[in-house]
Amino acid sequence: MMVRNLVLFLLFVTVIAPIVLYTHRLGSFNFSSSRGEFLEDFSSFTLSSHSEHLNILPLLFYQESSRTLKEPVGTVYSNNTAHPEPDASATEHNSTDVQGANQDLQLPESREHKSTRALSTTNENVSSIRENPLRQITDQHAQKNLRKGSLVQFDTKRVKVSKREQQSIQSTDLKSRESSKSEKGNDEAVAPNARVQYLKDQLVQAKLYLSLSATRNNVNFIRQLRQRMKEVQRTLGRANKDSQLPRNALEKLRAMDGILNRGKQIQDDCASMVKKVRAMLQSTEEQLRVHKKQALFLSQLTAKTLPKGLHCLPLRLTTEYYSLNYSQRPFPNQEKLEDSSLYHYALFSDNVLAAAAVVNSTIAHAKDASKHVLHIVTDQLNYAAMRMWFLVNLPGKATIEVQSIEEFSWLNSSYSPVLKQLGSPSAINYYFKAHRAHSDSNMKFRNPKYLSILNHLRFYLPEIFPKLKKVLFLDDDIVVQKDLTGLWSLDLKGNVNGAVETCRESFHRFDKYLNFSNELISKNFDPRACGWAYGMNVFDLEEWKRQNITDVYHTWQNLNHDRQLWKLGTLPPGLITFWKRTHPLDRSWHVLGLGYNPDVNQKEIERAAVIHYNGNMKPWLEIAIPRYRNYWMKYVDFDHEYLRQCNINP
């Protein structure tokens, strides 16, 4: 009995187990990188009584790797000889394995070797398999399943792959066409002046060849090069875009290219060319620096120079004023000058035309002009002209007063430190001997307006208006666009000064105005503190007196006798004097920058209550920024008799 069981066990191991192992490995088998060699070996595998090759595996591999859409192959075998096949259950199991295997044709190499060993084991025992009738029946079913199932699945998969590939190709073509269109559009948008720039570059190269020794000695080349340069310069003219070039621009460009190519053949020493280009670059940078300095000087000179028309106007008005009778000189409504229930404005100016624009724009937008009182203070030279202008051009129902600075007997050098400093030899040397080495190189700080005490009167408002409670201070380079009566009802919360802050720009902070290397400044102030603007400020004069603001100003002005704390001007001492005493106003009350910044937001200008032409480009000068000048000009009557006599035109 034990012998019989042992024989059956050996029979199972030698016959049944290899069959199961063979069918399992064959069903899950896939081709590796060496699949061609494996197919050749496997197709030459023969059984004991049949010498034909197995034709199904090469055919399946061919159909799997094919990428073209073709009809399914009808003939699977080259002949009708029966071959041993895996059983039906193994085939059904392998049909799902084949679908997954198509996604990744690479299998580990060791798996392929294991399959080969399984096939060789089957070869040794194939004769016993053929004698099994059950095996032959299952082989026939497996053959049909393989024909109808596996090949159809491979072919269907091939069709799907081909369709997917077609779609990917179409999408790739579409993307490439779109990218080419976008690149073309970008080229057109980015380089509207490409030809202009190229012509300018040609001129630079031509100047280089004119200065090189090798090309300079070639008389014929130099003559032709100069001729081409003149042609290119005439072609360029003032063109900034390719559309502004003449029709023959391309012809001139090509002609210049030709002569430049000749220059390259004549001068082939790159080292000398690089050296010359560097010298030209250094020379150009130096010229640019000089021109910038000259432009700054000329702009400052223009800002300080009084135009001929504005010089003529006060002379004409002064003559007319002194021809009046004394009874014709007083202004009406003088009883309102000290009425604290009204709206009072303070304007300190020696420019008649500028003061006229401020008064006209203020009254034009006042809801009730009869409640507005305008106080103008000027110097002795322009006093008669200022009075004559407003006597002839009364501001409607509003009240106006014109005073001379000479009327303030209390304002003298013993009381005001700034008056003493402005008359000192050091200040005179600073202004009138600026060519000396120790003078400040920044022309901005040597503007003669800093010599005028008019610029410092803003620190003496309680002395000038002793009976008033609140005053709205206005510069003469502003234009009022809305009613300003709401400023008198603002609660300054115990502060003295109401102003619009300017810290949105980095250069409007304390460290840009004050010398923080000085210990007095660094100990008492924050370098990153937000600055604010003069030009439109509401001052609480009662709080001013309570906090002794004028004494604070005098203290710091005395400490700055040698200009070590700040340069000249009124904003730095104003920042110090009103430190922690300034109430920030909404930005819409006061928009600045119209005298230096050409990019002020248009919407901000239109909704601003006051626009300020701070900077050198004042609206009454020829250097004014054109897009802002109209806001000022509409409040000046250029048809006025005095303006026409002095040839003052818009």
Examine the domain organization and report whether 525 and 578 are in the same domain: yes
Three-state SS string over 503-560 comes to: CCCHHHEHHHCCCCCCHHHHHHCCCCCECECCCEEEEEHHHHHHCCHHHHHHHHHHHC
Examine the domain organization and report whether 263 and 367 are in the same domain: no
In a domain, 294, yes or no: yes
> At which of 302, 334, 356 does a domain end?
302
Range of the domain at 521: 308-646
**pLDDT (tens digit per residue) in 146-155:** 444 444 444 4
CA distance 146 to 129: 20
**pLDDT (tens digit per residue) in 310-363:** 999 999 999 999 999 999 999 999 999 999 999 999 999 999 999 999 999 999
Which pLDDT band holds residue 629 (cuts at 50, 70, 90)?
Answer: very high
Query: Can you say whether residue 394 is alpha, beta or left, with left for phi > 0 and alpha for psi between -120 and 50 degrees?
Result: beta
In a domain, 603, yes or no: yes
Examine the domain organization and report whether 470 and 344 are in the same domain: yes
Mean pLDDT of the chain, nearest integer = 77
> At which of 276, 302, 328 does a domain end?
302
Examine the domain organization and report whether 212 and 239 are in the same domain: yes
Beta-carbon count within 10 A of 193 CB: 17
First and final C-alpha spacing in the chain: 132
Q: CB-hemisphere CA count at 13 Å for 375?
A: 21
How much is the average pLDDT of 532-546?
95
CA distance 20 to 86: 9
Domain CATH for 394 = 3.90.550.10
How much is the average pLDDT of 288-297?
82
Domain count, the chain: 2
CA distance 489 to 149: 94
How much is the average pLDDT of 594-623?
93
Share of the chain above pLDDT 70, in %: 69
How much is the average pLDDT of 399-410?
95
In a domain, 72, yes or no: no
In a domain, 156, yes or no: no
Examine the domain organization and report whether 292 and 326 are in the same domain: no
Q: DSSP assignment of 568-602, as one string?
A: SSSHHHHHHHTTT-EEEPPGGGEE--TTT-TT--H
Predicted pLDDT of residue 178: 53
- The residue to which tokens 């380089």 are assigned: 191
* Max Cα–Cα distance, the chain, nearest Å: 159
How much is the average pLDDT of 297-313?
81
Predicted pLDDT of residue 110: 43
Examine the domain organization and report whether 346 and 449 are in the same domain: yes
Which pLDDT band holds residue 432 (cuts at 50, 70, 90)?
Answer: low
Q: DSSP assignment of 394-437, as one string?
A: --TTSEEEEEEGGG-TT-STTT-HHHHHHTSHHHHHHHH-TTST
Share of the chain above pLDDT 90, in %: 43
Examine the domain organization and report whether 601 and 530 are in the same domain: yes
CA distance 62 to 641: 104
Tokens of 10: 């050996």
Q: 531, 503 in Cβ contact below 8 A? A: yes
Which pLDDT band holds residue 210 (cuts at 50, 70, 90)?
Answer: confident
Which pLDDT band holds residue 563 (cuts at 50, 70, 90)?
Answer: confident
Examine the domain organization and report whether 490 and 562 are in the same domain: yes
CA distance 287 to 11: 106
Closest CA to 347 of 83, 42, 610: 610
CA distance 590 to 578: 19
CA distance 280 to 210: 12
Highest mean pLDDT among 143-147, 188-192, 499-503: 499-503
Examine the domain organization and report whether 350 and 437 are in the same domain: yes
CA distance 632 to 356: 11
CA distance 121 to 111: 16
Q: 366, 357 in Cβ contact below 8 A? A: no
How much is the average pLDDT of 514-525?
93
Q: Across the strands, what pairs with 376?
A: 347, 402
Q: One-letter amino acid identity for 286?
A: E
Examine the domain organization and report whether 294 and 432 are in the same domain: no
Checking if the pLDDT of 33 tops 90, the result is no
Which pLDDT band holds residue 420 (cuts at 50, 70, 90)?
Answer: confident
In a domain, 98, yes or no: no
Examine the domain organization and report whether 239 and 332 are in the same domain: no
In a domain, 6, yes or no: no
Examine the domain organization and report whether 409 and 451 are in the same domain: yes
Torsion angles phi and psi, residue 284, rounded to 5: -65, -40
> At which of 302, 329, 354 does a domain end?
302
Q: 302, 595 in Cβ contact below 8 A? A: no
In a domain, 450, yes or no: yes
- Give SS3 for 506: helix
Q: Across the strands, what pairs with 404?
A: 378
Q: One-letter amino acid identity for 290?
A: V
In a domain, 149, yes or no: no
Q: Say how many residues make up the chain.
A: 650
Predicted pLDDT of residue 299: 75
